[in-house]
Amino acid sequence: MFERIDTFCVRVKDIEKSSQWYEESLGLQVIFKGKGYRILRVGNGSVPLTIEEGETNPSSNQSYPILYSKEIEKTYKKLKEQNVRTSDIHHDEDNYYFDFFDPDHNKLQVCFFNES
């Protein structure tokens, strides 16, 4: 569903619940389990996503990962089928993108742009 990730750390309230959500809803694979955090592989990318347990604040401007997908419409549809909350797909001069949210209201974003 995703080819690579640009940023890598998201804070979550409950590491076990969130880890399960990231695995089941997004198809990510846990490659390391630490106390209070998980490192997850995203597609064939070389940079992992780390989820870390702690206080979350959905009203603050927190960092968020931007995941690249060559098939953004297919990815969008799959997330919607998983009942993942998403924004609409947007298009600016250079890329298509949409936001989606995990159970702790952390924002993540998917983008597509022509790499040629």
* CATH fold of the domain at 4-112: 2,3-Dihydroxybiphenyl 1,2-Dioxygenase; domain 1 (3.10.180)
- DSSP per-residue string spanning 8-74: -EEEES-HHHHHHHHHHHH--EEEEEETTEEEEE-TT-SS-EEEEES---TTS-----EEE-TTHHH
Q: Taking a C-beta distance cutoff of 8 angstroms, is the pair 31, 73 a contact?
A: no
Give residue limits of the domains in the chain.
4-112
- What whole-number percentage of the chain has pLDDT above 90? 46
Task: Indicate yes or no: pTM above 0.75.
Answer: no
State yes or no: pLDDT of 6 exceeds 60: no
- pLDDT tens digits, one per residue of 64-98: 888 999 999 999 999 999 999 999 999 988 889 99
User: Which residue matches tokens 């797909």?
Assistant: 89
CA 4, 7, 13 angle in degrees (round to 5)?
115
